[in-house]
């Protein structure tokens, strides 16, 4: 048995594993899986692409913990490339000495960014492909609509019909796209091509859910995704992840809230629920209630 601890104070956050401080903090993750369903998730479908990328990346990390380090490496190279682009603005023509130095640096960063970017795209696309059938089935059960929901990983620099292909070949295509985008990137001072510009598309009846789904359907879409994620992680790792429900019952209509707890009764998973009122928690078996008032935790139904 391993003991994971997180202490939150006014000075910050401290994490410990088996009583020892973990450095770097990324070593703390991956030992067990946790699926979090929070009110903020309910806004993802209509939110910014960056929100959906973060939403997707959290799911990928749960599926493959090594993805966290890979994503951090990509982000570091991306920041360095952007720094070169910004520094190059106003330094002279590309054919001059400064321009040649800039293009030499960009060539180095492009190659590394393409390698890491291809890996990141493959990780994301694989996760979406694995979740999609479970996502469709979960939404069919709770959506109360004849329209089928679906999820797709969308790359901003690939044509919609294009296939990712094998990772080395994708890296070559991404490197070529980065090279072609250099003039525009130099003009704008940012990298315009890569997985940091991609998106997770959620559709309902072959139309963009963000534009055509009702508020209730959007919430059902995110609930279906979380259910699909929980099922995938259970099948992948053998043990059900811990499910954290952060006051989502108050955001769901009664029928979908009832479906959520009906589903949870069929799963052997530990579930931690925060709520403003106990009536939202439709569970009685093996239930323990706690009240938190002014930072003090008190068990309510102690024997």
For residue 97, what pLDDT band results from cuts at 50, 70 and 90? Answer: very low
Share of the chain above pLDDT 70, in %: 92
The verdict on residue 24 lying in a domain is no
CATH of the domain at 156: 1.20.1050.90
pLDDT digits (tens, 9 = 90+) for 42-71: 889 999 999 999 999 999 998 988 899 999
pLDDT digits (tens, 9 = 90+) for 240-266: 888 898 888 877 888 888 888 888 888
Whether the ω angle into residue 232 lies within 30 degrees of 0, i.e. cis, is: no
Share of the chain above pLDDT 90, in %: 43
Residue 96 pLDDT > 50, yes or no?
A: no
Paired residues of 242 in beta bridges: 34
Residue 56: count other Cβ atoms within 10 Å of its Cβ. Answer: 22
Is 171:115 a contact under the CB 8 Å cutoff? yes
Least trusted range by pLDDT, from 15-19, 22-26, 198-202, 238-242: 22-26
Query: Could you tell me which residue, 272 or 264, shows the higher pLDDT?
Result: 272
- Phi and psi dihedrals of 281, rounded to 5? -95, 105
For residue 11, what pLDDT band results from cuts at 50, 70 and 90? Answer: confident
Residue 94 pLDDT > 90, yes or no?
A: no
For the chain, what is the domain count?
1
Residue 83 pLDDT > 90, yes or no?
A: yes
pLDDT averaged over every residue in the chain? 86
Q: Is 89 exposed, middle or buried (0-12, 13-18, 19+ CB in 10 A)?
A: exposed
Tokens (6 digits) for 95: 């054919």
Is 45:209 a contact under the CB 8 Å cutoff? yes
Which SS3 state, helix, strand or coil, does residue 204 take? strand
pLDDT value at residue 120: 97
pLDDT value at residue 29: 65
Residue 72 pLDDT > 90, yes or no?
A: yes
pLDDT digits (tens, 9 = 90+) for 99-137: 567 888 899 999 999 999 999 999 999 999 999 999 999
Which SS3 state, helix, strand or coil, does residue 23 take? coil
Cα separation, 146 vs 70, in Å, equals 40
Residue 12 pLDDT > 70, yes or no?
A: yes
The verdict on residue 1 lying in a domain is no
Question: What is the Rg, in whole angstroms, of the alpha carbon atoms belonging to the chain?
Answer: 23
The verdict on residue 21 lying in a domain is no
The verdict on residue 116 lying in a domain is yes
Is 179:110 a contact under the CB 8 Å cutoff? yes
The verdict on residue 7 lying in a domain is no
pLDDT value at residue 25: 60
Residue 231 pLDDT > 90, yes or no?
A: yes
Domain with 196 in it: 32-299
């Amino acid at each position: 048995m391993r003991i994971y601890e997180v202490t939150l104070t006014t000075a910050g956050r401290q994490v410990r594993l088996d009583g020892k401080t973990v450095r770097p903090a990324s070593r703390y993750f991956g030992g067990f899986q946790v699926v979090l369903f929070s009110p903020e998730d309910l806004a993802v479908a209509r939110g910014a692409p960056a929100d959906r990328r973060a939403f997707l990346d959290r799911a990928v990390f749960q599926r493959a913990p090594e993805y966290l380090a890979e994503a951090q490496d990509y982000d570091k190279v991306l920041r360095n490339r952007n720094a070169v682009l910004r520094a190059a603005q106003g330094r002279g023509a590309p054919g001059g000495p400064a321009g040649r130095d800039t293009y030499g640096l960009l060539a180095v960063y492009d190659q590394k960014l393409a390698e890491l970017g291809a890996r990141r795209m493959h990780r994301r696309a694989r996760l979406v492909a694995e979740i999609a059938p479970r996502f469709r089935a979960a939404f069919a059960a709770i959506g109360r609509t004849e329209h089928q929901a679906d999820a797709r990983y969308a790359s901003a620099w690939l044509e919609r019909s294009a296939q990712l292909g094998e990772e080395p070949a994708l890296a070559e295509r991404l490197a070529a796209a980065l090279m072609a985008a250099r003039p525009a990137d130099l003009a704008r001072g940012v990298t315009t091509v890569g997985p940091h510009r991609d998106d997770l598309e959620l559709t309902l009846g072959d139309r963009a859910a963000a534009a055509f789904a009702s508020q209730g359907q959007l919430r059902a879409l995110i609930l279906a995704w979380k259910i699909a994620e929980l099922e995938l992680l259970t099948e992948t790792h053998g043990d059900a992840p811990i499910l954290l429900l952060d006051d989502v019952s108050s955001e769901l209509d009664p029928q979908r809230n009832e479906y959520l707890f009906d589903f949870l009764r069929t799963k052997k998973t530990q579930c931690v629920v925060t709520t403003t009122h106990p009536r939202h928690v439709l569970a009685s078996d093996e239930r323990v209630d706690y009240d938190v008032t002014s930072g003090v935790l008190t068990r309510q139904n102690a024997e």
